[in-house]
């Protein structure tokens, strides 16, 4: 906090260039700080009124030409991840918002299943979109709507994106690229080898009482906790507690890309939709198969993707520091994310029961659900690898995609590395 000149008597001395003992960064033990005064000034001018000194936080910038005498309480430098997070607004226990976000995530999964008949697995949707699956337009529409909601969240709820867990390129060019790259490759490769991620196995698998999903969730939760604990304890804290300001136009680029993508897909869907029967013809229209026109499927994906992104925003999943605080019970535990998973799973246990009793989804001829029940080494190893990437970064694919609108380099690197990990899996196992 810089105090403008004129706020105090003119004879009050400015803070000298050499920081006195007791100020943060001076290297001396923390102690109460006395006002700095000019010994050559008249004695009367040194008797400042009570409350004339402003408290400032560690790391504040002082302009010698404008700053007056200031008393600064000493603040210990953060020496661990939790201390860094605390200085930046530590993840706090948020049961109600996390529960609300979890229920929204459950609503999105239920909508996706009810309308299109598919599981809302983020890693599978991303992999199908980049690999050119037959239904890739529907998948891309889902992802584009998530980006659009991310832009709105960046404008209206910027605090939802939380504090960084990786240094910025300006702070540490190597770590800002290497750490998220390694974590992203692990998450991408592991999600494919283990047949899913937190959304596929957790949000959608547990409500179906899938044994494979139960094993996968237990596995990646364990390795995620190990990775989070070790990274919090061993890696140096982020040099700056305050998040580095992202590019001002990052959300504009993301919104433009997502809007243009959705527009092109909707035009494509309209063109591919069957025309209504002509009123001038006597022939009766053919009975339609239980399914939907491409346009309706695209709109359904846009809806479920948007609700999913909104749930991630309110739940706290966009804050990697909050995720790591949940996975790490040693350096201070934030159990909020248990309410996220609990809200989503409990909601889907009820709704999936009724949805899967239907003969077919509303907009598709049949349900497309995982049918395997065997526990394989690929499932366990893949889930373990995914958990390592998740715990190291504090991100899984869906929250990272929404957070990409901030334009932060480590997030972009992590997402790109997820794609690389998926491609590596395809090359090794195709």
pLDDT digits (tens, 9 = 90+) for 191-236: 999 999 999 999 999 999 999 999 999 999 999 999 999 988 887 6
Predicted confidence (pLDDT) per residue in 163-186, tens digit: 777 777 777 777 778 999 999 999
| 8 Å CB contact between 418 and 390 | no
Please write the tens of the pLDDT for every residue from 334-344: 899 999 999 99
Tell me the average pLDDT across 227-252. 62
pTM: 0.72
What pLDDT digit, counting tens, does each position of 91-146 carry? Answer: 688 889 999 999 999 999 999 999 999 999 999 999 999 988 888 889 999 999 99
Residue 268: per-residue pLDDT: 58
Distance CA(55)–CA(89), nearest Å, equals: 18
Per-residue pLDDT, 27: 44
Which of 308, 313, 338 has the alpha carbon at shortest distance from 325? Answer: 338
Query: Which of 72-81, 274-283, 379-388 is most confident?
Result: 379-388
Give the up-direction half-sphere exposure of residue 23: CA atoms within 13 A in the CB hemisphere: 20
Cα 231 from Cα 397, distance rounded (Å): 20
Q: Between the CA of residue 368 and those of 110, 239, 332, 371, what are the distances in Å?
A: 14, 47, 41, 9
Is it the case that residue 14 has pLDDT exceeding 60? no
| Statement: residue 368 has pLDDT above 80 | yes
pLDDT at residue 332 tops 50: yes
Question: Contact 138/298 with Cβ under 8 angstroms?
Answer: yes
Under DSSP, is residue 118 helix (H, G, I), strand (E, B) or coil?
A: strand
Is the pLDDT higher at 156 or at 218?
218
Gyration radius of the chain's alpha carbons: 27
Strand partners, 118: 368
Rounded distance between C-alpha atoms, residue 163 and residue 87, angstroms: 10
Cα distances (angstroms) measured from residue 137 to each of 4, 141, 228, 373, 392: 57, 6, 36, 30, 32
Average pLDDT over residues 15-24: 42
For residue 157, the model assigns a pLDDT of 86
Of these ranges, 38-47, 273-282, 356-365, the one predicted with the greatest mean pLDDT is: 356-365
CA angle 68, 70, 71 (to 5 degrees): 170
What are the beta bridge partners of residue 368? Answer: 118
Mean pLDDT score across all residues of the chain: 75
- Alpha carbon separation from 257 to 236, 262, 264 (Å, rounded): 36, 9, 11
Tell which residue, 241, 236, 243, 232, has the closest CA to residue 58. 241
């Amino acid at each position: 906090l810089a105090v403008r000149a004129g706020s105090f008597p003119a004879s009050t001395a400015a803070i000298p260039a050499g920081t006195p003992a007791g100020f943060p960064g001076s290297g001396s033990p923390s102690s109460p700080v006395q006002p700095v005064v000019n010994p050559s000034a008249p004695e009367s001018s040194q008797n400042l009124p009570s409350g004339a000194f402003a408290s400032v936080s560690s790391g504040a910038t002082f302009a010698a030409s404008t700053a007056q005498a200031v008393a600064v309480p000493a603040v210990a430098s953060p020496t661990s991840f939790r201390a860094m997070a605390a200085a930046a607004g530590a993840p706090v226990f948020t049961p109600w918002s996390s529960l609300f976000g979890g229920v929204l995530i459950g609503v999105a999964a239920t909508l996706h299943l009810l309308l299109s008949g598919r599981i809302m697995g983020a890693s599978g949707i991303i992999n199908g979109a980049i690999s050119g699956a037959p239904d890739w337009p529907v998948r891309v529409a889902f992802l584009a709507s998530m980006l659009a909601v991310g832009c709105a969240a960046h404008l209206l709820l910027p605090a939802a994106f939380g504090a960084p867990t990786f240094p910025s390129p300006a702070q540490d060019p190597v770590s800002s690229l290497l750490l998220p790259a390694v974590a992203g490759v692990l998450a991408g490769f592991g999600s494919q080898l283990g047949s899913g991620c937190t959304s596929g196995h957790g949000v959608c698998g547990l409500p179906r009482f899938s044994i494979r999903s139960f094993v996968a969730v237990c596995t990646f939760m364990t390795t995620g906790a190990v990775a989070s604990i070790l990274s919090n304890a061993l890696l140096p804290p982020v040099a700056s507690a305050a998040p580095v300001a992202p590019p001002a136009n990052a959300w504009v680029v993301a919104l433009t890309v997502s809007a243009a993508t959705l527009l092109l897909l909707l035009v494509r869907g309209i063109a591919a939709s069957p025309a209504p029967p002509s009123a001038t013809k006597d022939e009766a229209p053919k009975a339609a198969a239980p399914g939907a026109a491409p346009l309706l499927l695209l709109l359904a994906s846009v809806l479920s993707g948007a609700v999913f992104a909104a749930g991630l925003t309110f739940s706290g999943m966009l804050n990697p520091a909050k995720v790591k605080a949940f996975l790490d019970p040693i350096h201070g535990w934030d159990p909020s994310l248990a309410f996220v998973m609990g809200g989503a799973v409990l909601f889907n246990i009820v709704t999936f029961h009724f949805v899967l009793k239907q003969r077919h989804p509303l907009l598709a001829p049949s349900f497309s659900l995982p049918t395997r029940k065997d526990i394989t080494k690929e499932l366990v190893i893949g889930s373990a690898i995914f958990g390592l990437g998740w715990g190291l970064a504090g991100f899984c694919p869906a929250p990272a995609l929404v957070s990409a609108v901030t334009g932060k380099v480590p997030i972009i690197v992590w997402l790109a590395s997820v794609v690389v990990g998926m491609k590596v899996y395809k090359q090794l196992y195709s």
